[in-house]
Structure 1
Amino acid sequence: MLFAAVLAAVIWPLQPGQPNWAVFGLLLVFHIAALALPLHLEVQRQGILVSAGEIPFILALFYLPPFWVFVVRALAGLVVYAYRWLSRKIQLHKAVFNLANTCCAVAAAALLAHTIGVGAASDPRTWVTLLSSAMVYLLVTALFLTAILSVTQGRRSLDELLHSMGSSLIIGGINAIVGILILLTLSATPWALVPLIVLLVLVFAAYRGYSNLVRQRRALADLNDFTQSVAQAVQSNRLIDIMTHRLREMLNAEVATVWLRREKRFPAILLSAYMDSEGLLDTTPVPRELLDSVLASGQPLLVSRKIGDPAYREQLRAADGKDAIIVPLRSGKIAYGCLAVANRLGGDLNGFGPDELALLETLAAHAGVAVENSRLVDRLRFDAYHDALTELPNRRRTMAVLEQSISITVPGEIVAVMLFDVDGMRDINDSIGHASGDKLIVEVGRRLKEAAPPAAHVGRIDGDEFAVVLRMPDTAAAVELAAEIRGALQQPCLLGSLNVDIDCAVGIAVHPESGDNADELLQRADVATQTAKNVSSGVQVYNAGLESGSVRRLGLATDLRRAFDNDELHVYYQPKISLGTRQLVGVECLARWRHPTHGDVPPEDFVPVAEHTGQLGRLTEFILRDGLSRVHGWDGEGHRLNVAVNLSPRTLVDTDFPQLVAALLDEYRIEPPRLTLEITEDGMVGAGGKAPETLRRLREMGVRLSVDDFGKGYSSLSYLRRLPAQEIKIDRGFVQGMATDEGDHAIVRAIVDLARHFRMTVVAEGVESEMTLSLLSEIGCDIAQGFYFSRPLPPDRFAAWMAAQQGPGGDGRRTGRLRAV
């Protein structure tokens, strides 16, 4: 204000004298109207209040002496800002600053106009002088505002001001040009003032109407967009994140908040989306008393500097808030939380009103329905970070705790990650049901929580895997504790009427020796767990040597792609013999890989690699095509053989696989019943105990289906009755032990009797002795294969083997006992 007074004293003697008081009065009214009734523009959801004050300012520069230009603008500003302060639309210090800023800018512009000189209204030089003075007014105003913002609000607010300054200068320039046009009109006849006033009133009213219409249409579009966004967020479990950010954008607020009250085991949730933050923060400028009030009453609340209960306004002012809307979130008639927006952007004159309150109520109704229908009330509170079955922290929470733990280094301590992998869960699920398996998982979680130290974090990170994260003095202490916890878990568990033994393998990774981040530590604990399954103690600490197997599998993935192109993959054939006639009836196709560096790679190594690298389909087609083409060729030589191919359960997920099989059978002219596809029991029985649709289609085609490794999986009458198979292949472990173990002999006999009851063919694999062969014949087994007859052979050697089994007449029948090769 002092600087403004100095400028006023400077311009006072420039052109002394009294103004035309009628003109002075009209210009004063015009200035007050222009300042008091700004136009509201919205650009990219940012509200801009635009004053038409440059128009009367241009007229004042032309009609009044410099000092009286200063006086008329100062008086108009004093009237407008005093009214806004008295009506609590603006704070006193802001009113004083705005008035002083206006006075300084007017004095500088008036001084420039007097220095250059103002001539006749029709003189273009006069236009340039007036337009230049208006630009100086705008620039000085922006300069003072830039200075004050850089001091009070920092660099970010300054950048925002500079970003919007261009728009202000353009609008101000347009207003100045309009003022010059009005000046030219008035210079022709003073009576032009009447239609000009009427025109300005009509334009102002038309714009207000148009602006309201645009806001209504935008509100409808925003509502539709919000509904769709909420629906998508429900599917992606990001409801709070998406909902708060969309609310903040739609209502042009500095912050949007979701608050859910505490219920039972679930803690209260308070998350806010701020204007310059992509994530969510657990703070809000909305006073807690206002949130509690809305939740208790179930009624929405609008609070600003002049709207709402005085106590609420004082609480908002104490929290340094400008205005806020809070509405309840309801499930039926019960309010369980609140939505709130606070501090509308666009300056002190741009605040929330009844329209925004109605819009937020509508949005809250849609959000409440989404939350209720998807049952996200509980999920948002608890399930986001906890396992639904055990109520232990889930993988996400465990990873966050681990990341936080390793971020703090404590001398003399390590952060240990113990990964407990429960053994035998599949067998339990398959034999006594998934419900019993779930009970066992819950019991394991309970025992882990009890056995672990109080400071330890216990979480369930996968189906049968639990993690314990804690600080320990050293690795040896971690191993000792892991062994103690494992011992506590090994106590029998009563499931119904059965006592089930629990065992687990424990892998340990420690920070910083085993890794630098949470993902790495957990992955290396998993590597250690796999090794722990093969050590007597059941506990293994990670070391770099354990990675060699994983690294080798990673290398095999790349080499496998090259193996297809370099003909490194081959199909071997193992004969299948009818025990009734001792004749060759078929072959089983077995893939073999001769790696140029590693030598022979066993199928148990490269088949999982194919499964996890998307090459399984190519491998399966390669084996099928080779097997069917060989059988077709042997048909031409008088050897009519059936062919069997092993399938991975993952292949059954491919709905196009039956079409591939049909095409290959047609291509090589092989009848479907001559092809047998062998699938393990867990692949044969899908989710819910039902066979996959792919198997049904294969069986309808006439392809035979065989349950591979029978006896290791489900092995129950109910499942066997539902299996879509015509053949059972007894696991080699039982077959090889039946000659020396009465238990294995009894199991094989029971399987054969069971299969005969269901009219299924029985194949015994792993036959390696004459005694085993005799026992299988006695109990009525149909087909056998194993090293007693022949190892898997490449096609040329298998052809030689077949030739050696033929009788003198070449009819394909044996002339003595079959000989191993």
Structure 2
Amino acid sequence: MLDRRNDVDRIALIEALNVMDPALGTALDPITELAAFTFGLPIALVSIFDADHQHLISRVGLALTRNERHASICAHALGSSQVLQIEDLRQDPRFAGNALVAGPEQLRFYAGTPLITKGGVALGTLCIMGREPRRLSAEEQVQLQTLSRVVVAQMELKMSLGRRDQVSGLPNRQQFQADLTALSRRGEGRRFTAVLLDVFDLQSANDAGQALGMKPVETLLRQAALRVQDVLRDVTQVYHVGVTRFAFLLADHSHHQTEGLLDRLRVRMRRPLMAGSIPMSPQFHAGVCDFRAVREETADLVRKCLVAMHHALQTDACLCWYSQERDDALRRRYRLASDAGRGLAQHQFSLVYQPRFDLIDGQPVSAEALLRWTHPMLGPISPGEFIPVLERTALMPALSRWVIDHALAQAAHWQKTVPGFSLSINLSPRDFDDQCVWSVLSERLHAYGLAPGLIEIEITEGQWLNHHPAALPQLREMAAAGVRIAIDDFGSGYSNFGYLSEVPISHIKIDQTLVTGLARSRTARLKVEAIIKLARQLGYRTVAEGVENDAELSLLRLWGCDEAQGYQLARPMHPDAVLHLVNACRAGPLPDAG
């Protein structure tokens, strides 16, 4: 009789152990050959059974590699608790018509025993066969069972290679994923909680490795692994899934129980550990995710845990539960990054221009080129959303070159009607990575016949200049050629006048977070007035961003701010509207009809 009661467990374990790997069959061949030799028989087989087939992964004396399960003699031995032997297959009505008995092989004798793992799951069989009737003695049956245990041990040993971390000795990420797959087959949809834990800052571990060598660092990681195991020893299996990361699963734990367990683990983990003679403080950041033991959820579980754990790292929280909303936002950012190249090729990007006004005579003196993206599926996307995403990709320099080309073409067109009206372009730190942004800009200026003094390049303030050594030389070349350099968003972060002496800037743009609501905030007024006063003393022109009402304009004029832009003055607009606005302002008010 075919035993299908353990099919779910068997198939899950087959996947977890990867027993269909041809390398395993090669490793088992010497044992199969020994079985044939020991019993003086021409055929010996190691078989693995899935739901429908018998897979002969190691064999001697038979060319067959796969058989239908219902036609397999070994399938009858799979559920046996002892050696199944048939002295004469022709005399047994179950097998007399079997292709191996009635066909060319003319088999007569069969003896087989199941391959049972430590967990009690029968994966397959070890069998021997001959072409003459025979009966094994009791001692021979014991020998066959002993060989079956050797086969199972070899399977487990072979499959454990590459499935354990060499430093901690714990099961690794591959084994974790394999066990998740197995759990999805036999877990019957039960609810579990997965935890992904980061116990050290990877950069600190790398620094320690460079200073001390890898042995003290490996000792450090082993100590960390032992602490995790010590707390969870009677609770669950621990996996070492990354250099400084561990994972484990909890069954039937409420959120309160999970957080209590993690709190105990955190207290234990935060005690100093020794790397050589240096005490190091472990960190503790956990990503936690509930899931059901079904394939649809286990297949994506590690990624979800990563989403939660990275949020814990970013917010310096001890633990964060997985959030679908946060995940959706992350996937949206990834989609924007992956769709941007296609969007550029398909003309989904465009430019609008926000005029900038001189605060003494009220005339528009320049316009800032602002990038817009209309996604075919997601619709209009805010630059505040897509620019930070694209700045992390290799596409940003190409997108900036597109902006340079289209914006300069527009500036050249304006010069025909409103000469002297200048243009401002934003550049990202990534634009300076390829060390040719100035050559691109210079070439396009020459191609469009534009004087460098008509162009202003805006860069964000901050310490990024220290990490982009190619930026300063190119900025200096731009300034030497006459291009104006402006620091954008000043006052929003780094805001250090000291580093400005290294950058050949001419303008400081005061961030809109300081300007908007200026009339209502004493702190903002003090900051903005101080920035304007100090910038004037240092020889910089100031530009206020985000001006939204007359009260703000009045204060900015009072303090001597040079220029301003914002919705109170003009919204971002299409090029023709800019041209119309500049022409109208330059024409002045209509003469009095009287």
SS in 2 for 1:806: helix
Verify: 1:644 aligned to 2:424, yes or no. yes
Q: Which runs of 5+ in 2 are unaligned?
A: 1-32, 39-43, 46-57, 59-157, 202-220, 233-237, 268-282
SS in 1 for 2:508: strand
C-alpha change, 1:149 and 1:509, in structure 2 (3 Å) is closer
Decide which of 516, 525, 534 is 1:754's aligned counterpart.
Answer: 534
Specify the alignment match of 1:256 in structure 2: none
C-alpha change, 1:556 and 1:762, in structure 2 (3 Å) is same
Specify the alignment match of 1:588 in structure 2: 368
| Alpha-carbon distance between aligned partners in 2 of 1:555 and 1:636, rounded to the nearest angstrom | 41
Q: Deviations over 1:127-173 (max 9, x none)?
A: xxxxxxxxxxxxxxxxxxxx999859x99xxx9xxxxxxxxxxxxxx
Decide which of 476, 479, 484 is 1:704's aligned counterpart.
Answer: 484
Decide which of 554, 562, 565 is 1:785's aligned counterpart.
Answer: 565
Verify: 1:480 aligned to 2:259, yes or no. yes
| Alpha-carbon distance between aligned partners in 1 of 2:544 and 2:395, rounded to the nearest angstrom | 30
Shift of 1:515: 8.4
| Alpha-carbon distance between aligned partners in 2 of 1:578 and 1:642, rounded to the nearest angstrom | 12
List aligned pairs for 1:315-334, cutoff 5 A.
Answer: none
List aligned pairs for 1:512-661, cutoff 5 A.
Answer: 520-528=300-308, 541-542=321-322, 544=324, 546-557=326-337, 559-611=339-391, 614-661=394-441
Shift of 1:763: 1.5
Please, which moves more after superposition, 610-619 or 581-590? 610-619
C-alpha change, 1:752 and 1:414, in structure 2 (3 Å) is same
C-alpha change, 1:610 and 1:764, in structure 2 (3 Å) is same
SS in 2 for 1:417: strand
- Relative to its length, the structure with more strand (as a share) is 2
Does the aligned pair in 1 maintain the 2:196–2:286 contact within 8 Å? Answer: no
Specify the alignment match of 2:15 in structure 1: none
Does the aligned pair in 2 maintain the 1:710–1:729 contact within 8 Å? Answer: yes
| Alpha-carbon distance between aligned partners in 1 of 2:36 and 2:476, rounded to the nearest angstrom | 73
Specify the alignment match of 1:455 in structure 2: 231
| Alpha-carbon distance between aligned partners in 2 of 1:385 and 1:672, rounded to the nearest angstrom | 59
Verify: 1:715 aligned to 2:495, yes or no. yes
- Relative to its length, the structure with more helix (as a share) is 1
SS in 2 for 1:728: strand
C-alpha change, 1:420 and 1:510, in structure 2 (3 Å) is farther
Q: Deviations over 1:99-146 (max 9, x none)?
A: xxxxxxxxxxxxxxxxxxxxxxxxxxxxxxxxxxxxxxxxxxxxxxxx
| Alpha-carbon distance between aligned partners in 2 of 1:506 and 1:581, rounded to the nearest angstrom | 59
Specify the alignment match of 2:11 in structure 1: none
TM (norm. structure 2) is 0.54
Shift of 1:702: 3.2
| Alpha-carbon distance between aligned partners in 1 of 2:490 and 2:436, rounded to the nearest angstrom | 27
TM (norm. structure 1) is 0.40
Partner amino acid, structure 2, of 1:455: V
C-alpha change, 1:670 and 1:743, in structure 2 (3 Å) is same
SS in 2 for 1:725: coil
Matched residues, number: 397
Shift of 1:659: 1.0
List aligned pairs for 1:87-166, cutoff 5 A.
Answer: 151=37
Does the aligned pair in 1 maintain the 2:194–2:249 contact within 8 Å? Answer: yes
Q: Deviations over 1:10-39 (max 9, x none)?
A: xxxxxxxxxxxxxxxxxxxxxxxxxxxxxx
C-alpha change, 1:414 and 1:758, in structure 2 (3 Å) is same
Partner amino acid, structure 1, of 2:445: L
C-alpha change, 1:611 and 1:807, in structure 2 (3 Å) is same
| Alpha-carbon distance between aligned partners in 2 of 1:459 and 1:763, rounded to the nearest angstrom | 54
List aligned pairs for 1:66-465, cutoff 5 A.
Answer: 151=37, 406=180, 414-417=193-196, 455=231
Partner amino acid, structure 2, of 1:596: P
C-alpha change, 1:530 and 1:471, in structure 2 (3 Å) is closer
| Alpha-carbon distance between aligned partners in 2 of 1:515 and 1:601, rounded to the nearest angstrom | 35
Shift of 1:707: 1.8
SS in 2 for 1:685: helix
| Alpha-carbon distance between aligned partners in 2 of 1:485 and 1:709, rounded to the nearest angstrom | 44
| Alpha-carbon distance between aligned partners in 2 of 1:755 and 1:461, rounded to the nearest angstrom | 50
C-alpha change, 1:688 and 1:460, in structure 2 (3 Å) is farther
| Alpha-carbon distance between aligned partners in 2 of 1:780 and 1:459, rounded to the nearest angstrom | 62
SS in 1 for 2:587: coil
C-alpha change, 1:400 and 1:627, in structure 2 (3 Å) is same
| Alpha-carbon distance between aligned partners in 1 of 2:434 and 2:294, rounded to the nearest angstrom | 39
Q: Deviations over 1:369-421 (max 9, x none)?
A: xxxxxxxxxxxxx9x979xxxxxx9xx99857965885886988533225799
Partner amino acid, structure 1, of 2:231: A
* Larger RCO (CA within 8 A; separation ≥ 6): 2
Q: Deviations over 1:530-582 (max 9, x none)?
A: 878999x9975335555433444444456434433443321100011112332
Q: Deviations over 1:247-289 (max 9, x none)?
A: xxxxxxxxxxxxxxxxxxxxxxxxxxxxxx9x99999xxxxxx
Does the aligned pair in 2 maintain the 1:570–1:591 contact within 8 Å? Answer: yes
Specify the alignment match of 1:775 in structure 2: 555
Specify the alignment match of 1:335 in structure 2: none
C-alpha change, 1:385 and 1:149, in structure 2 (3 Å) is closer
Does the aligned pair in 2 maintain the 1:418–1:525 contact within 8 Å? Answer: no
Does the aligned pair in 1 maintain the 2:351–2:407 contact within 8 Å? Answer: yes
Q: Which runs of 5+ in 1 are unaligned?
A: 1-146, 160-276, 284-381, 387-392, 423-444, 489-502, 809-813, 817-821
